[in-house]
Amino acid sequence: MQAAENSMNNNKSYTGIDCFRLIAAYLIVAIHTSPLASVSAQGDFILTRIIARIGVPFFFMTSGFFLISGYSRDGQKLLSFVKKTVSIYALAILMYIPVNIYNGYFRMEPFLPELIKDILFDGTLYHLWYLPASVIGGSLAWYLAKRSGYKKAFAVTAVLYILGLSGDSYYGFTERIPAFRYFYTLIFQVSDYTRNGIFFAPVFFVLGGFLADNEGGVFCGNGFPAAQRTDKDGTGNSPKSAERALIKNYLGFAVSFALMFGEAMTLHGLGVQRHDSMYVFLLPCMYFLFRILLGFRGRRLTRVRTLSLVIYIIHPLVIVALRLFAKIFHLQELLVENSAAHYLSVCLLSTLAGIVITVFTDNFKPKKRKSGGGTDRAYVEVDLGNLEHNVREIQKIMPEGCQLMAVVKAQAYGHGAYETAVHLNKMGVGSYAVATIDEGIALRRYGVKGEILILGYTAVSRARELKKYDLTQTLISFEYASLLNKQGIFVKTHLKIDTGMHRLGIPWEEFSKVEKIFSMKNLRIDGMFTHFCCADSREPADEAFTRGQIARFYALVEEMEEKGIPVPKLHMQSSYGLLNYPELSCDYVRIGIALYGVFSSPGDDTLIKPDLRPVLSLKCRVTLVRNIKAGESVGYGRAYTAERESRIALLSIGYADGYPRALSCGRGQVLINGQAVPVAGRVCMDQLAVDVTDAGEVARGDVATLIGMEEDGGISAPAIADNAGSISNELLCRMGGRLPVIVKI
């Protein structure tokens, strides 16, 4: 599945962040060249020790924004970030060896301990500390956010920041306290500054990740993706709300910066700073600045990203070269002593060198094959706006206090477990149901929070994994519960009760077994449920049977109450259970097929008729159009023979993609150019043919819709499934194999 990339690629890029990379790089150059030193010492302090201090935190936040999403799939992104940063760091160390030889770096004593300290914390040249700080700070922040969520991660990193602050801008106060002075003496034996990857960097990485997930990054402030909202300005917010948010961000930044300015000037006046790089109000200042930058969206500026990094890495080398050039040609007064000219020269030369290096490296990068964003063959298109709508419609029906348990098994019924579950999680849905332990583990690796109930069997030997990934296991029988309990590992569970379906579960009348299960010390019973076998039918006999199941379940609950057994959270209703029996009072409703906006069969009738909208469309490309003569055949078994001169379009989809072979020879239809055209011949494993003789102009690369709506009509999943002698549930679930999931924009 390629959801994350597609979702990001289809949105406009973060042009504001890309542009500010250059500004931040030039601000960092200013710190190392003091542009106003020959004009005004106080002005230079304001520029280099206050204004320019936003440069490095900005880069940390940018890295965190793209690295530390609560919904990252696994640790591969972190590993890639660490490998890339370490590689750049190693290259930079090698590049600056001549400079280090010149300045006597290798004559320091004791050499080896100092070298290790510099490599891990301080950098082998003054500006290179940023790279190990990124590795350490990014890894720490990623782990904390992944393990504990943003609130706890921010709390921990904020404490680290405060400790760093006390050894930086506020050191003059803390050194007066003997215990603190001793603590920081130890710290400064390991790292020259608290401006490093332990104390300084992590909090900004966490803030960047938080903004990506919550405040208008990949997802907008209300938790819904910007691309899926349909307000008139197309930005994901209504014009008025967007304007108000922008004003708040500008105001927040202005106030925070003013407070930081006052803080820095006060500390400077008192002379308490050991190294003036960490301020209390730097945190809110960066938070609001980053939110402002997120509002500027447009074209990707990939080379600007590379250029800013190159400027950061090479500008000290440019400083050395410029000073050498000025000395040789007696231009020190112009290029060195004139601080403003010196700064501008360094910026210009660093930029020119950066442009050359960027172009050179781009030319030698392996070119990635463009795949049409995953739409070059066949694909599933998921409309998350319709998913949001369905959730709201279902929640209107649910009893007060009842929670939605989203059933996302089998790749969320073919809709993509990552795309669907992550989006639901961001909407606030906190309970999920899957069929297998591996489906549950996948959700956790995607970063999905909340309860995840495994509805089916899990080998008791995997009890440790149930605990590790905080999954809730269904107890499918008394024997199973006993075996799971004997593993000696504390596991969260829901108890399933068989009230008449005779599939999984403990028979409702076997109360003694239920009672024993509740006494098993290694099982925590968080829920109890049953499953209706004919809640989709409104036939009198079926309704009577369902009412019987309800009565049996509640009879067991009453007996538990009488015997003093605490009743856990209850659930009975699935999609049809809710729509036909909405009056039932439970703690959860397990919504599967209805969540995705379709019924199992086209003729299904329900008591409640919510306005549900299909979430999935199945589409593919026309790969070839050919003319055949009357009497010629197409495909296996010559099952289709043209009765006239015909135009046949070959489509890049087959039964291996989940399209039923039962729809061969005209039983299935496909939309092309808004026209329904019949399947010609047999559906093959990887392709099928349709007769487009009457469909107007059809060419290679055109999109064919097999399931979904177009302006002039549509083909529904229930209708397709019915034609194939099946139900929507089966049809949709079979699409989770090799089809990429594309989020509709």
Pairing label, strands 378-382, 403-407: unpaired
DSSP sequence for 672-715:
ETTEEEEB-S---SS-EEEE-TTS----TT-EEEEEEEETTEEE
- What are the φ/ψ torsions at residue 40 (nearest 5 degrees)? -155, 120
Tokens of 512: 């003694």
Beta bridge partners of 666: none
Is 409 one of the catalytic residues? Answer: yes
Which residues, other chains included, contact 657 with Cβ-Cβ below 8 Å and sequence gap of 6+? 378, 620, 686, 735, 737, 738, 739
Where does 117-171 show beta strands of DSSP type E? none
Here the tokens at position 653 are 């989809």
What are the distances in angstroms from CA 58 to CA 16, 17, 20, 291?
A: 12, 9, 9, 11
The residue among 663, 668, 631 whose CA lies nearest residue 646 is: 631
Q: Which residue has the tokens 């960027």?
A: 358
Q: Is the dihedral of CA 54, 59, 62, 63 positive or negative?
A: negative
Q: Which long-range contacts (CB under 8 A, 24 or more apart) does 317-325 make?
A: 317/95, 317/96, 317/99, 318/346, 318/349, 318/350, 318/353, 319/32, 319/33, 319/346, 320/99, 320/102, 321/349, 322/346, 322/349
Instruction: Name, in order, each residue with C-beta under 8 angstroms of 222's C-beta and a sequence gap of 6 or more.
Output: none
| CB count in 10 Å sphere of residue 626 | 11
Q: What burial class does residue 285 get, using C-beta atoms within 10 Å of its C-beta: 0-12 exposed, 13-18 middle, 19+ buried?
A: buried
Provide the residue count of the chain: 745
Residue 408: what are its φ and ψ, rounded to 5°? -125, 30
Count CB neighbours of 720 within 10 A.
24
Amino acid letter, residue 512:
S
Distance of CA 107 to CAs 90, 98, 176, 552, 640, Å? 21, 13, 34, 85, 85
Residues 6+ apart with CB under 8 A from 167: 174, 184, 187, 188, 193, 194, 199, 274
End-to-end CA gap in the chain = 17
Out of 409, 426, 496, 619, pick the active-site residue: 409
Interacting residues of 251 by C-beta distance below 8 A, sequence separation 6+:
none
Contact of 18 with 322, CB cutoff 8 Å? no
User: Chain centroid to CA 726: how far?
Assistant: 34
Active site residue 89: no
How buried is residue 664: exposed, middle or buried, by Cβ count under 10 Å (0-12/13-18/19+)?
buried
Positions annotated as catalytic residues are 409, 636
